[in-house]
Amino acid sequence: MKGLECSSCGAPAWVVHGTYDLREVGLKNVVLQGIEITKCPKCKNEDPIIPNMNGLMRALALAVIEKPYRLTGEEVRFLRLRSKASLSRLASK
């Protein structure tokens, strides 16, 4: 385990391998497995270490676009924010 500093409280934190529920992207049920996570023993904060965030977001967007059933509101918001498109522009496509 490597030592780092907690992004929340500044206390010493550790990097471990584990599973992280990635709610920050705006989609439910996105779970990253086997990634490095910075964990703070003091404040219990956890931060994922994602070396290729753009690639991850692209893969998530493709998975949402290619699913065989209707998009949820959450998924439309994710795609709109990811593409920086307006609702009217997105609806016209």
Which tokens hold the place of 16? 């471990």
Domain boundaries, the chain: 1-51, 52-93
Which tokens hold the place of 71? 């998009």
Closest CA to 24 of 65, 82, 64: 82
What is the C-alpha to C-alpha distance for residues 14 and 2, in angstroms, rounded to an integer?
6
User: DSSP letters along 23-62, please?
Assistant: GGGS-TT-EEEEEEEEE-TTT--EEEE-TTHHHHHHHHHH
What string of pLDDT tens digits covers the 93 residues of the chain?
556 899 999 999 999 999 999 999 999 989 999 999 999 999 999 999 999 999 999 999 999 999 999 999 999 999 988 887 655 665 665
pTM, to two decimals:
0.77
